[in-house]
């Protein structure tokens, strides 16, 4: 699996706000049927309590789709599916539960090389009629 290993990801921000950096370690687990991702936000001067999350990734043989569940240390949860790689893009789509509300979410991962990818998260915005980008992430393989 392309994502297996240790990645350093950065979410650059506009203006003077500090960018977010995290490590994402993905390993095969549970008798080889699943991959588990461990994301840990890097501490910083402005982040007293960095956020962590856990991903469970696998393949649903009945639905013939990839599945991914993510739980986040701030109470958010994501449930996503994907048909897999299409050229150099892997698109996850599903819902995120945030502050007690579920909303549609999409993540478009673009493989730039064996050791680098970008991920853009989108939310469905009814007033703006379509998917609007909310987070842009650049990840580089460390191991």
Can you tell me the distance from the alpha carbon of 10 to that of 133, in angstroms, rounded to the nearest whole number? Answer: 16
Task: Output the pLDDT for position 59.
Answer: 95
State the CATH number of the domain containing residue 132.
2.40.128.20
What is the count of structural domains for the chain?
1
Angle 91-92-94 (CA atoms, 0-180°, nearest 5)?
Answer: 140
Range of the domain at 27: 5-141
Sequential pLDDT tens for the chain (143 residues): 899 999 999 988 766 567 889 999 999 999 999 999 999 998 877 777 889 999 999 999 999 999 999 999 999 999 999 999 999 999 999 999 998 899 999 999 999 999 999 999 999 877 777 899 989 999 999 98
User: Any residues with CB less than 8 A from the CB of 5 and at least 6 apart, and which?
Assistant: 25, 26, 141, 142, 143
Task: Output the pLDDT for position 61.
Answer: 94
Percentages helix, strand, coil for the chain, rounded to the nearest 5? 0, 70, 30
Question: What is the pTM for the complete model shown?
Answer: 0.90
User: Nearest CA to 80 among 129, 119, 29?
Assistant: 119
Task: Output the pLDDT for position 91.
Answer: 98
Task: Output the pLDDT for position 116.
Answer: 98
């Amino acid at each position: 699996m392309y994502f297996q290993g240790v990645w350093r990801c950065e979410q650059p921000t506009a203006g003077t706000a500090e960018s977010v950096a995290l490590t994402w370690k993905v390993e095969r687990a549970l008798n080889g049927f699943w991959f588990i991702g461990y994301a840990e936000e890097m501490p910083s001067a402005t982040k007293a309590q960095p956020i962590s999350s856990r991903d469970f990734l696998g393949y649903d043989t009945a639905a013939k789709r990839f599945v991914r569940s993510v739980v986040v240390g701030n109470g958010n949860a994501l449930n996503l599916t994907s048909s897999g790689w299409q050229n150099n893009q892997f698109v996850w789509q599903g819902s995120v539960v945030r502050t007690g509300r579920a909303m549609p979410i999409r993540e478009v991962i673009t493989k730039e090389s064996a050791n680098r990818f970008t991920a853009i998260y989108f939310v469905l915005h009814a007033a703006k009629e379509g998917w609007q980008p909310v987070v842009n992430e650049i990840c580089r393989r460390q191991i």
